[in-house]
Chain A
């Protein structure tokens, strides 16, 4: 059975593009367009993995991540953070530290190369 991946990002264009990448690799994809919707979908869809954007207006990725990890039913779902604020030199320690605190499982910089994204997802799913 195909693994289900939930993608959470407030930018519909980005969601669409990532969805196309994942569908081409035969993943079952669910989409949410904000942090709050992301939490609802996570509960409803029970995905195998969540690709989560950091900067969202209603509830940011850190907060979503924290709530997911606090929920015993959802805490096992691996989370791949999509970071856009990462800058070249510092890879913003802030983002990393916040991410670590919220126990995200991996990070990836937007925009993503399909092979890299798929490789990371496979890595997380294999754990």
Chain B
């Protein structure tokens, strides 16, 4: 035993008390002695938890051993009592055992007999203590779990975001008031019901079912915007993730809902505001440019060389502003989701050919070699024709702008897996490494000596990227400073899984 075992000897005979005390002390026990039952009980009452084993003589004057045993049992039924019986009175030993004594030892006994029986009792005592310790620990853990549970429940119920938890049979096992508020259903019609019976938004049900059904271990979570309400005026963003055990089996799924209606509203207001401002700015600017054009064409009389120079520059500036306004309008349209509403099966070859033909004059003016290559057969894509014309006009005119005289620009069409691939390469001034990652950002323009003379708004490439994104494609750029630039656009083929997916 780690701590010193303490043993109480209750016997009226001095010899017995001393004998036991000597033998057990030698074994490392601390021994307390009592001359009679009454004294013994007082020792126990003081601190029963400090006494491990009691040696109790049955035959004592005054309070008998049997009577003392009853009292001891009343104080703490866990106390281990070994009764000492005189002259092999088996009956009294049996009676004591029936009353709950742990063991008995008949007088006279040898030191070894005493040691063995006490040792056994002490071992029993150790086990008893350990069991008690474990029981307390378990109780404490249960209490902790209960506290934790109630804490989590309170947190979930207080959350502004909606929470829905399903088990693997798609039965809703947990939801919070925010979820029922957002989904406009009562909490009682959620918890305990299976998904199909809950009449939830169909896309939401589908999302949850998919996350439960997926066996792909790398699948972690999906987010989707849902529109609810009679006229779709409520927007929710739903995040769904499967819950897995350590073997990777799906046990259920957790869905968190956020009400993003007000964000949508703000976003719409912002786009409308930009569109309004742009329209208001555009008309007067167009008039100004028109007037400048008339003067520059000498339709309002002769113009001196100096005046022409100044007016040409003024016209360039108004042109730049008009381009910025057009870009802003495009951007607000893309953001309002109005840009790519007219998807149709499209021959990209035809579209790019048209753009290249339109750009040819510009390229020739700069003595650039503009080439276009494409395979004889090319898969159709599903896209908005005007948007496609726009993005390739932008990419090719950029290539022409940033390539010095005598250089080369080539446009190539091809296929790559499920995608149609368009590359626009040039032998131009290239892009610095530190600028590469930011060229698709809104209003970002590379500022160098070479680009200072080139008019631009810094919106073109971000619009190109938005359009490509809206077509579920991708755009990438490779460039080396002074070594030319290549833009690669991938657009999903028509009816390829990527194209008809979410």
The answer to whether the Cβ of B277 comes within 8 Å of any Cβ in the partner chain is no
A93 to B390, CA, bound (A): 12
Interface 1/0s, chain B 374-402, versus A by CB < 8 A?
00000000001011011101100000000
B286 touches A90 (CB 8 A): no
Interface of A is mostly: loop
Interface 1/0s, chain A 90-103, versus B by CB < 8 A?
11110000000000
How many whole Å from A65's CB to the nearest CB in chain B?
A: 19
A17 touches B283 (CB 8 A): no
The answer to whether the Cβ of B186 comes within 8 Å of any Cβ in the partner chain is no
A17 to B286, CA, bound (A): 11
How many Cβ-Cβ contacts under 8 Å join chain A to chain B? 84
The answer to whether the Cβ of B329 comes within 8 Å of any Cβ in the partner chain is yes
The answer to whether the Cβ of A85 comes within 8 Å of any Cβ in the partner chain is yes
The answer to whether the Cβ of B273 comes within 8 Å of any Cβ in the partner chain is no
A18, A24, A55: which contacts B290 (Cβ < 8 A)?
Answer: A18
The answer to whether the Cβ of A3 comes within 8 Å of any Cβ in the partner chain is no
A11 touches B300 (CB 8 A): no
Closest residue of chain A to B322 (Cβ to Cβ) is A111
The answer to whether the Cβ of A112 comes within 8 Å of any Cβ in the partner chain is yes
Which B residues are CB-close (under 8 A) to A88?
Answer: 323, 326-327, 330, 390, 393-394
A110 touches B330 (CB 8 A): no
Which B residues are CB-close (under 8 A) to A93?
Answer: 342, 384, 386
Which A residues are CB-close (under 8 A) to B288?
Answer: 13
B283, B294, B387: which contacts A11 (Cβ < 8 A)?
Answer: B283
Q: What is the number of residues of chain A that contact chain B, defined by CB distance less than 8 Å?
A: 25
B297 touches A21 (CB 8 A): yes
Closest residue of chain A to B285 (Cβ to Cβ) is A111
Which A residues are CB-close (under 8 A) to B342?
Answer: 93
The answer to whether the Cβ of B287 comes within 8 Å of any Cβ in the partner chain is yes
How many whole Å from B339's CB to the nearest CB in chain A?
A: 6
- Asked if A17 meets B293 with Cβ closer than 8 Å, knowing A24-B299, A55-B283, A85-B279, the reply is yes
Task: State the B residues within 8 Å of A (CB).
Answer: 279, 282-284, 286-291, 293-294, 297, 299-300, 322-323, 326-327, 329-330, 333, 339, 342, 384, 386-387, 389-391, 393-394, 463, 467
Task: State the A residues within 8 Å of B (CB).
Answer: 11, 13-14, 16-18, 20-21, 23-24, 55, 84-85, 87-93, 110-114
